Structure 1
Amino acid sequence: MDIEGFVRRNINQKGLKNILAERILEFKDVDKRTALKLAEAVIEEVNHTLKIEKEEDKLLKEIIEFPKTEITMGEMGVGSRGAGDFFVHRKIADIVASTNTKAYITPTAQDDGGVVKTPTKKDTIYITTAIDGIHSRLSEYPFLGGFHVTRAALRDVCVMGSRPLAILSDLHLADDGDVGKLLDFTAGVAAVSELVNVPIVAGSTLRVGGDMVLGDRLVSAVGAIGVSEHPPTARKRAEPGDIILLTEGSGGGTITTTAIYHGLFDVVWETMDINFIKASEALMEANILGEIHAMTDVTNGGLRGDAHEISSTTGVGLEFYEDKIMAMINPKVLKMLKKLEIDPLGVSIDSLMIIAPESISDTIKDIIESVNVKINEIGKVTDTGKPILIGEDGETKLEPAFREAAYTKIKKVVGEATPEDFDKMKKRVEEATSKAIEKKRKVVEAIRGGR
Structure 2
Amino acid sequence: MDIEGFVRRNIDHMDEESLRSILADRIREFKDIDTERSLRMADAVIYEVRNTLGTDGLDDGLREIISYPLAGVGMGEMGVGSRGEGDFFVHRKIADIVSSTETGAFINPEAQDDGGVVRTDTDKGEVYITTAVDGIHSRLSEYPFLGGFHVTRAALRDVCVMGSRPVALISDLHLADDGDVGKLFDFTAGVAAVSELVDVPVVAGSTLRVGGDMVLGDRLVSAVGAIGVSGTPPTARKRAEPGDVVLLTEGSGGGTITTAAIYHGLFDVVWETLDVNFIRASGAIMEAGLLEVIHAMTDVTNGGLRGDAHEISSTTGVGLEFDAEAVRSMVNPRVLEMLEDLEIDPLGVSIDSLMIIAPEDVSKDIIRAVEGAGVPIAEVGRVTDSGVPLLIGDGVMKELRPLFREAAYTQIKKMVGDETPQDFDEMKRKVEEAARRAIEKKDMVVKLIGK
**The TM-score by the shorter chain falls in which range?**
over 0.9
Q: Distance in 1 between matches of 2:9 and 2:374?
A: 56
Give 1:49's aligned amino acid.
Answer: T
- 1:186-211 Cα distance to aligned partner (Å, 9 max, x none): 00000000000000000000000000
Which of 196, 199, 210 is matched with 2:198 structurally?
Answer: 196
Q: How does 1:387-402 map to 2 (within 5 A)?
A: 387-392=389-394, 394-402=396-404
Distance 1:166 1:7 in 2: 41
Aligned counterparts of 1:132 and 1:312: Cα–Cα separation in 2: 23
- The DSSP-based 3-state class of the residue aligned with 1:345 is helix
Amino acid at match of 2:29: E
Per-residue CA deviation, residues 378-417 of structure 1 (Å, 9 max, x unaligned), is 0000000111111126011101000000000000000000
Amino acid in the other structure paired with 1:320: F
Q: Confirm or deny that 1:34 pairs with 2:57.
A: no
| Structure 1 residue ranges without an equivalent (≥5) | none
Task: Write the letter of the residue equivalent to 1:124.
Answer: E
Deviations 1:56-93 (A, max 9, x none): 31111000010001111000000000000000000000
Matches within 5 A, 1:208-219: 208-219=210-221
1:160-179 per-residue CA deviation (whole Å, 9 max, x = no partner) reads 00000000000000000000
Query: Within 2, Cα distance between the matches of 1:133 and 1:371?
Result: 28
In the superposition, relative to structure 1, how do residues 42 and 393 fare at CA in structure 2: closer, same or farther (>3 Å)?
A: farther
Q: How does 1:69-148 map to 2 (within 5 A)?
A: 69-148=71-150
Alignment of 1:352-363 (within 5 A): 352-363=354-365
Matches within 5 A, 1:152-231: 152-231=154-233
Q: What SS does structure 2 have at the residue aligned with 1:118?
A: strand
1:23 aligns with 2:26: yes
Partner of 1:4: 4
Q: Secondary structure at the match of 1:156?
A: helix
SS of the aligned residue for 2:348 comes to: coil
1:258 to 2:260 alignment: yes
Structure 1 position 302 matched with structure 2 position 304: yes
CA contact (8 A) 1:251 1:271 kept: yes
Say whether residues 1:46 and 2:25 are aligned partners.
no
Q: Which amino acid aligns with 2:190?
A: G
Aligned to 1:285: 287
Give the alignment's TM-score, normalised by structure 1: 0.99
Unaligned runs of 5+ in 2: none
The reply to whether residue 421 of structure 1 matches residue 423 of structure 2 is yes
Q: What is the TM-score normalised by the length of structure 2?
A: 0.99
Identity of aligned residues (%): 73
Q: Which runs of 4 or more aligned residues in structure 1 lie more than 2 Å from their structure 2 counterparts after TM superposition?
A: none
Deviation at 1:33, TM superposition (A): 0.4
Q: Does 1:234 align with 2:236?
A: yes
Task: Say whether the 8 Å CA contact 1:389–1:396 is kept in structure 2.
Answer: yes
* 1:248-270 superposed Cα distances (whole Å, 9 cap, x missing partner): 00000000000000000110000
- 1:55/1:61 contact within 8 Å kept: no
Which amino acid letter does the alignment assign opposite residue 251 of structure 1?
A: G
Provide the secondary structure at the position in 2 that maps to 1:349.
coil
Aligned Cα RMSD in Å?
Answer: 0.6
What SS does structure 1 have at the residue aligned with 2:53? Answer: helix
* Distance (whole Å) between structure 2 residues aligned to residue 55 and residue 248 of structure 1: 61
Number of paired residues? 448
Q: Which amino acid in 2 is paired with 1:269?
A: W
